[in-house]
Structure 1
Amino acid sequence: MSGTGLRLPLVALCLLIAGVLADHQRPFRVHPNSIRYNVNNNRPIIGILSQEPSKTMASVSPESVSYIAASYVKWLEGQGARVVPIKVNQPDSYYKTVFDSINGLLIPGGGASLVSSGYGKAGSILYDLAIEANDNGDFFPVWGTCLGFELLLYLSAGKRDFLTTCNSYNRASSLKFLSDASVSRLYQRAPNDVLKTLSKEKSTSNFHHWCMTKENLTASSLDNFYRPLATSTDDDGLEFVATIEAISYPFWGVQFHPEKNVYEWGANLTSVPHWPSAIKAGQYFAEFFVNQARKSQHRFASRQEEATYLIYNYAPVYTGNVSSSFLQSYFFN
C-alpha cells in the first residue's frame, strides 16, 4: 500500500492559496467580464451520459438502447440538482441542444468501449462542446467517474490511450494526496474530516481494470492538461492516479466511485465502504460538482421543454437481480 498520510498538514489543504503554483501552471480560464461567474443558478440541471447495456443488463429491457445506473442520478439529486439523461447514437443537433440547456455533464463509469461505443462517440461530441464553451468564457463543468475518468484522459490525449492494466476491482482504498491537492479547486476547501477520511480510511470504492500511472500521465504530456491530485494502489501495489483536475478548464475525474458509498448495496459489492464518514466523503464530491454547475447559466428554452427532457419521464427498474453493480437502472430506447 502507498502511504496514506497527506504530504502537507491537513490545515494547509484548506489555507494555502493557488498563487503558490502560478509560476508553472496556466491560469484557469475565467471570463473576467462575465456575470455568469458571480451569479448562482439555483435550478442546476446536469446531464448524465448513458451507455449501451451489457447482455445481462439488456435482458431486463430488451428494447432499450442505453441505460444509466440510478445511483448516479440519486447522487446528484441529493445535492439539489436535477438530471437529464443523454442518449447515445443521436444526431449532432441533439447533443448541441442538450448541451446548451444543461449546466454540467457527468460521464459515468461502466463497461463501454472508449473508441467504438455510442457512449464514447457522444462523450467526444460533448467534450468538444465543453472545450469550446469554456474557451469562449461560457463556464461549463464536466465530471468523469471511473470509465468517465478514463474517457476524459483518452479525449484529452487526442483520442490516444495511455492507460495500463491494473488489478483494482472490488477494492476499497485510501487516497495519497499529492502536493497540488492543497491548492486545487476540488480539495482546497474540503472539510478537514473529509480529507482525513479519504487519506486515512479505505473509503474510496474501486471497480476498474485499467489505470493511469503518474509516469504515463507525464509521458503522454497529459500533465500539461491535468494536475494529478491523489493516487491509490491496486492489489499488486501499483500506484495509479485516483483524482485529476484540469488546469485550464472546470473538468474533474476520479477513478473511484463516490456514488457507490451511498447508493449501491449489491451482495457482491463486498468492498464498498458504507460507514458514516465514507458516505460523507462520497457526498462531498457530489456537493462540489453540483456547486460548480450552479455557476452555469445554460437553460432550456421553456419550462415545458425542460420537463420533456428530465429524468422524471422515466422510471428506474430493479436490476440487482441481474447486475452485481447496480441495484436500479434507467433504460432508454
Structure 2
Amino acid sequence: MSGMCSHFGLAALVLYLLTVDVLANPRSIPVQRTTRLHPNSIRYNVNNNRPIIGILSQEPSKSMASVSPESVSYIAASYVKWLEGQGARVVPIRINQPDSYYKAIFNSINGLLIPGGGASLVTSGYGRAGSILYDLSIEANNNGDFFPVWGTCLGFELLLYLSAAKKNYLTSCESYNRASTLKFLPDASTSHLYQRAPDGVLKTLSKEKSTSNFHHWCMTRENMTMSNLDKFYRPLATSTDDSGLEFVATIEAVNYPIWGVQFHPEKNVYEWGANLTSVPHSPGAVKAGLYFADFFVSQARKSQHRFSSRREEESYLIYNYSPVYTGNVSSSFLQSYFFY
C-alpha cells in the first residue's frame, strides 16, 4: 500500500509541476483548431501528383483586341503562372463551344479557375461557359466526385450570380486599384481556406494592405443574407472600398469545394503594370498571394479526373500557346494568351 501511495504522490507532484508550468507559460498550451470537413472530403485522401486545372478564357477588351484582332478570347498569363508555381499544369478553356466540349474538358481536369476581367456575367461567352462548368461541378460533387472551383474578382461575382439562380445581388462600389486588408469573420477560423494558413500569412492579410482590388461591384453581408446566399456560402472575410463600404472579400461554400475571393492574389506576384500603383509586392504580400494558389492546387490534387491518354492531355495543355506581351496596351496584364 505504501508503495502505491508513493506512486500516487509522485504522479500528483508531476501533475502539479506541469500545471504550474502551463500557467506560467501560457504559450505552451497547444492551440487546437476545429476541423470542419466537406461531406465527401473524407473519401479523397489519395493525392493526384499530376494536377491539371482549367482556366476559363473570356472576350478581350478593345485594348486587348488591338494586340490580336482575330482572337476570340484570352487568359492573363499571371493566372497560369500562379497555378504552375504551385505544381499544377493548366488547360485553357475556350468560350462559345458546344456543351459536349465543356463536358469533355470537365471530365479531364482536376479543378476550375474562373478568373477576373471585364466580361458580362449575363451575355458573354465567359458567363455561359462558366455556368455550364459550374453546373457540372455541382452535379459531380453531389455524386461524390470531388471537383474544386475557384473564382477571382469577376469569377467571384460569377459564382455568386450562378449560386443565386442567375440573379444579381451585387452593389455598386469603388475599390479599383486599391490595396486593402482583410477583416476575418468568425467562420474563418473553422474554414478550409484559413484554418491551417500560416500565422504569418494571416497576420499579413489582416494587418498589411496586401490584397489587390480592381472591381466596381461588391457583395455586402446584408445582401448575402437577404438573397439567402449565406446559406450556400460562408463569408470568411471582408474589406472596405474607397467610401468605407464593407464588402465580402472571401467566400467558401458550405457543402461544396468552391471558393471565391474578390481580390487578385495573382497580381501580388506577377503583375507589374505602370498604372497598377496599388498592387502590393512586399515579401509578406507575395507569400500571401502564393498561399491561395497553394491551397487551391492542394484541393485539385484530390480530384481523380484525367485525360484518356498522354497524347490527348498534351494537346490541350497551355504549352501549345505562347504568351504575348500586353503591358503596352493593358494596364492590368503584362502578358496574355490569345485563342482563336
- TM-score in terms of structure 1 length: 0.92
Matched, 1:292 2:307: no
**Of 325, 328, 335, the match for 1:328:** 335
**Of 9, 28, 33, the match for 2:38:** 28
Distance 1:179 1:17 in 2: 12
Question: 1:18: Cα distance to partner?
Answer: 3.8
**Of 273, 288, 296, the match for 1:281:** 288
Matched, 1:183 2:190: yes
Question: 1:29: Cα distance to partner?
Answer: 2.7
Alignment of 1:52-131 (within 5 A): 52-131=59-138
Contact residue 29 and residue 137 of structure 1 kept, 8 A: no
Matched, 1:215 2:225: no
Contact residue 29 and residue 135 of structure 1 kept, 8 A: no
Distance 2:294 2:35 in 1: 21
Question: 1:31: Cα distance to partner?
Answer: 6.4
Contact residue 45 and residue 102 of structure 1 kept, 8 A: yes
Q: Which amino acid aligns with 1:164?
A: T
Matched, 1:237 2:247: no
Distance 2:39 2:74 in 1: 33
Contact residue 46 and residue 103 of structure 1 kept, 8 A: yes
**Of 5, 19, 32, the match for 1:15:** 32
Contact residue 15 and residue 188 of structure 1 kept, 8 A: no
The percentage of aligned residue pairs carrying the same residue is 81
Distance 1:186 1:28 in 2: 12
Residue in structure 2 matched with residue 309 of structure 1 by the alignment? 316
Contact residue 29 and residue 134 of structure 1 kept, 8 A: no
Distance 2:289 2:139 in 1: 30
Distance 1:67 1:178 in 2: 35
**Of 37, 51, 54, the match for 1:47:** 54
**Of 187, 196, 203, the match for 2:203:** 196
Structure 1 residue matching 2:175: 3-state secondary structure:
strand
Q: Which amino acid aligns with 2:249?
A: A
Distance 1:15 1:331 in 2: 47
- Tell me which of the two structures has the higher relative contact order, counting C-alpha pairs closer than 8 angstroms and 6 or more residues apart: 1
Which 4+ stretches in 1 moved above 4 angstroms?
Answer: none
Question: 1:128: Cα distance to partner?
Answer: 0.2
Distance 2:223 2:35 in 1: 25
Distance 2:171 2:315 in 1: 41
Question: 1:38: Cα distance to partner?
Answer: 1.5
1:97-124 Cα distance to aligned partner (Å, 9 max, x none): 0000000000000000000000000000
How many residue pairs get matched? 312
Structure 1 gaps of 5+ residues are 1-10, 20-26
Structure 2 residue matching 1:122: 3-state secondary structure:
helix
Structure 2 gaps of 5+ residues are 1-27
Distance 1:268 1:116 in 2: 29
Distance 2:306 2:289 in 1: 28
Alignment of 1:104-183 (within 5 A): 104-183=111-190
Structure 1 residue matching 2:118: 3-state secondary structure:
coil
Distance 1:18 1:280 in 2: 24
Residue in structure 1 matched with residue 23 of structure 2 by the alignment? none
Q: Which amino acid aligns with 2:148?
A: P
Q: Which amino acid aligns with 1:16?
A: R
1:153-192 Cα distance to aligned partner (Å, 9 max, x none): 0000000000000010000000000000000000000000
Residue in structure 2 matched with residue 22 of structure 1 by the alignment? none
Question: 1:55: Cα distance to partner?
Answer: 1.0
1:228-250 Cα distance to aligned partner (Å, 9 max, x none): 00000000000000000000000
Root-mean-square deviation (Å): 1.3
Contact residue 169 and residue 207 of structure 1 kept, 8 A: yes
Distance 1:290 1:174 in 2: 24
Q: Which amino acid aligns with 1:284?
A: Y
Distance 1:15 1:45 in 2: 33
Residue in structure 2 matched with residue 5 of structure 1 by the alignment? none
